Amino acid sequence: MTADLFAADRHRIALDPGAWLFGGFALDRAGELLDAIAAISAAAPFRHLETPGGRRMSVAMTNCGTAGWVSDRGGYRYGPRDPLSGDPWPAMPPQFHVLAAEAAESAGFPGFAPDACLINRYAPGSRLTLHQDRDEAMFEAPIVSVSLGISATFLWGGQARGDRLRRHTLHHGDVLVWGGPARMTFHGIDTLAADDHPLTGAFRFNLTFRRALHPAAPLR
């Protein structure tokens, strides 16, 4: 497998230039992260967003941070408030900041200060089709993702949609960092198979930390 050609060790695998997998990086903090997700989703519930084309996303989502990612008939964007309640998104917990900055620094991106955390919840049958994350205002910043709960097959290609796809199983506690030349990589999650995890039951959760807003152009 291509990824193994670049393996530095069991816990740190270079998937591509600028793209790192840190196996088990968040394992010791997983319980606290899941408690924080429960608190966030009590205030801003998981919901199935509608795509601009009118399809219901199979992944349920919520956000914390200054900005949250939303999709509806009007398009994809970051906004300061939960459209369901009209309230600001829940604050990003300090341990989220710490984890994201530590992982980014380990991948060679010091000073990462995410202002948005999209929280995805996958049930068996959920999938995320191949896409780029391009709604952020600062592509200089990396994206950090944390996998929790049941395992999933992560798909990633190249900088063009038609590039060859590779796959890797993401486990509970795994952290990925995508920055620099890997920032615009096409990626997705294959249809989730049914499984059971002691901490999350039938679900998989994924946190993605982003720098959504440019400091000079705050949200209104």
- Interface positions with Fe ion (CB under 5 A): 133
Of positions 206, 209, 212, 213, contacts ligand MD3 by CB under 6 A: 206
Residue number, 16 or 133, with CB nearest to Fe ion: 133
Identify whether the C-beta of residue 207 lies closer than 8 Å to the C-beta of residue 140.
no
Question: At its nearest, how many Å lie between Fe ion and the CB of residue 19?
Answer: 13
143 binds ligand MD3 (CB under 6 A): yes
Interaction of residue 208 with ligand MD3, rule CB under 6 A: yes
b/e 160-187 (16+ beta carbons within 10 angstroms → b)? eeeeeebebebbbbbbbbbbbebbebbb
Is there binding between residue 133 and ligand MD3 (CB under 6 A)? yes
The region of 24-32, 42-50, 161-169, 184-192 touching ligand MD3 under the rule CB under 6 A is: 184-192
**Any idea what DSSP says for residue 39?**
H
Taking CB under 6 A as the binding criterion, the range among 22-30, 34-42, 43-51, 176-184 that sits at the site for ligand MD3 is: 176-184
DSSP for 49-103 reads PBPTTSPBPSSEEEEEES-EEEEETTEEEEESB-TTTSSBPPPPPHHHHHHHHHH
| 3-class secondary structure, 42 | helix
Q: Which helix (H) or strand (E) holds 34?
A: helix 30-43
Does position 66 interact with ligand MD3 (CB under 6 A)? The reply is: no
Judged by beta carbon distances under 5 to 8 A according to partner kind, the member of Fe ion, ligand MD3, none in contact with residue 210 is none
In the complex, minimum distance from the CB of residue 47 to Fe ion, in angstroms, rounded to a whole number: 18
# of chain residues touching ligand MD3 (CB under 6 A): 14
- Regarding 187 and contact with ligand MD3 (CB under 6 A), the answer is yes
- Count CB-CB contacts under 10 A for residue 129: 12
Distance between CA atoms of residues 144 and 14, nearest Å: 14
Q: Which two tokens stand for residue 161?
A: 């949609």
Given ligand MD3, Fe ion, none, residue 189, with its beta carbon under 5 to 8 Å by kind, binds ligand MD3
Sign of CA dihedral 71, 73, 76, 81: negative
Interaction site with ligand MD3 (CB under 6 A): 118, 120, 128, 133, 143, 145, 176, 178, 183, 185, 187, 189, 206, 208
